[in-house]
Structure 1
């Protein structure tokens, strides 16, 4: 039994299917038809494709009757779902609830405990742990760590926040907006981190250590107009060190007024610091209390910690300081102006409450 006469256009179409078909069933059927059109008998085709002669004859017969539509598999819809959409929604709602509100004596669900509750409460008669996991995954409910958030108690939170956001969004034409903060303490200790390694061969760091060389502190400034970081590492972080750092910023940009975004650390508010700033065209713009996340430099500190310190075990401050400096120089070579701070955040809403958690 052979396939009917195949035209040149049909032969070219069959060849395209054998090259591009992603469905293995359609691919196999197209190969059967193409081989038959080339004069291969059904037994030889069955032998080459490791299938039965009846299958080959059925494919050829179907193609002779229906043409190319016979190559497409007709998948059935499968068994109907035993858990309807409403129950699936309820499973997600219950998973997000505190189990204690539902009479269970624990603070969080495990998949097994959630499964048992669904059966006990009559939502389903039977369900596996894997089905529960799959339903939650399909609806975007995932297992996450609980995080804390400290709301600001500053009575002027909204005013201060909007002032800082306005400086970020509309830098003054007469100066620069600089985010300043301290980073540290910089102890000498093994720091956990992550690295690409062969399976089951993690980097090992010493578990016991003594911090007998003291701690150092980094004072840094983020220039939003260029995206570059400027820093100094000092043994202490008193108002004297802070004022000395401000003087280096003043010398770096002698003609610009500096708008410094700073937190409420007491050295930042020292009378001598304030007096010097007033006399040298430096405006201190203080963050609301408990709102360090408004300082753009915090994101840069996270990167410094991740790429320069995590996974290291420096034995001297000189070695650690050099590692930080190498990373910051590498980063500054690729820096770009900063814009679009928290563009999609809820803090951009006009009615954002000053005690929002």
Structure 2
């Protein structure tokens, strides 16, 4: 077998030699640095076998670098990444695939499935002649790049209350413009308060989470918290009871009535049956207390719900109270801490889209 002729780089000038040396020391791109080393070694008179032995590269690679430098100079040292093979599936077809993936099989007359798997979707695309062939992995990448992901379906519930808008704006008007003749209070129940380890978050060493016991018996019953949020001061008032019947709620209303004598109370509540009990409504009418009922499935309009969420997060999550007295003390400590920093409640959902649904009914009339 004939030996291949030796190949050397062309004669280098002093300036080119210094530039090559600088590239071999400082180049951040490893490909450019490797090519510069090949050229410099060849310029020093080392043969192709010597270079391949030192760099653990192939003869063809070394010869190719040398020939390229002799033809194009230093431009041959910069790697020119090609785009590879042109995509077989066009961008328009990819968008069509993502559009089909967002449908359901039943929309295409396929009654055997309620949702697509990658396999059934690929088969469907081939049968519809969207593509001639496609693998599941390629399909997965197309969907990912197209912003289509595998998600759990969720449900939503709209209010069945025919007076939803009117009731909603009645509540929002009380929030935005508290009446001069009284005080607006948001009331609700929080619970049930079980004695159980509650998951939460805390700072811990990495991979060493805090662990709580598992419970199999909860034989100390439950408690219920009845609370009210005074919008004028931002403070919370509450009672913890063993039950949450109309009697407990009425007793709590009487407590609120004694706290603010001489003022009309506008108490915003949901449609829980104890709130609508005839005894409760009769007492409220006689003692200058107006019960403002939220629309059906509209408990999220009650300002106290966000306070309950904060109470659960800061006072209960991550705890494992063994007695109700211990748990009640924790709740009381949080409420005292919060009330010491409370400020008047203003601007309820001021930027929410719910305010674009209509205008105040009373104003419009």
TM-score (ref. length: structure 1): 0.69
Which aligned pairs between 1:78-117 and structure 2 lie closer than 5 A?
A: 78-102=84-108, 103-117=110-124
- Partners of 1:142 and 1:63 lie apart in 2 by 47
Whether 1:152 and 2:172 are equivalent positions in the alignment is: no
The answer to whether the 8 A contact 1:190-1:311 is kept is yes
Whether 1:324 and 2:301 are equivalent positions in the alignment is: no
Q: In the TM superposition, what is the alpha-carbon distance from 1:224 to its structure 2 partner?
A: 4.2
Deviations 1:50-109, CA, capped at 9 Å, x for gaps:
99998998999999877xxx9976443343333333333333333333333331423333
- Partners of 1:216 and 1:292 lie apart in 2 by 21
Change (3 A) 1:276 1:207: closer
Whether 1:242 and 2:252 are equivalent positions in the alignment is: no
Q: In the TM superposition, what is the alpha-carbon distance from 1:182 to its structure 2 partner?
A: 0.6
Change (3 A) 1:213 1:78: same
- Partners of 1:58 and 1:93 lie apart in 2 by 50
1:298 aligns with one of 297, 302, 305: 305
Deviations 1:309-330, CA, capped at 9 Å, x for gaps:
4454432112222333344445
Q: In the TM superposition, what is the alpha-carbon distance from 1:231 to its structure 2 partner?
A: 2.6
Which aligned pairs between 1:47-126 and structure 2 lie closer than 5 A?
A: 74-102=80-108, 103-126=110-133
Whether 1:216 and 2:229 are equivalent positions in the alignment is: no
Which aligned pairs between 1:302-317 and structure 2 lie closer than 5 A?
A: 302-317=309-324
Whether 1:288 and 2:291 are equivalent positions in the alignment is: no
Deviations 1:203-233, CA, capped at 9 Å, x for gaps:
3532522x32222101122344555443321
Deviations 1:248-287, CA, capped at 9 Å, x for gaps:
4445555765432211122223345335544555432111
Change (3 A) 1:240 1:333: same
- Partners of 2:171 and 2:132 lie apart in 1 by 56
- 1:203 is aligned to 211
3-state SS of 1:339 partner: coil
3-state SS of 2:228 partner: strand
Name which one, 1 or 2, has greater alpha-carbon Rg: 2
The answer to whether the 8 A contact 1:3-1:63 is kept is no
Change (3 A) 1:54 1:121: same
Structure 1: gaps (5+ residues): 7-13, 19-23, 34-40, 44-48, 353-357
The answer to whether the 8 A contact 2:198-2:316 is kept is yes
Whether 1:127 and 2:137 are equivalent positions in the alignment is: no
Please give the root-mean-square deviation of Cα atoms over the aligned residues, in Å.
Answer: 4.9
3-state SS of 1:97 partner: coil
The answer to whether the 8 A contact 2:246-2:280 is kept is yes
3-state SS of 1:322 partner: helix
3-state SS of 1:231 partner: strand
Whether 1:341 and 2:354 are equivalent positions in the alignment is: no
- 2:177 is aligned to 171
The answer to whether the 8 A contact 1:264-1:287 is kept is yes
**Aligned residue-pair number:** 334
**Which moved further from structure 2: 233-242 or 136-145?**
136-145
Change (3 A) 1:240 1:229: same
- Partners of 1:212 and 1:73 lie apart in 2 by 73
Change (3 A) 1:257 1:204: same
- 1:37 is aligned to none
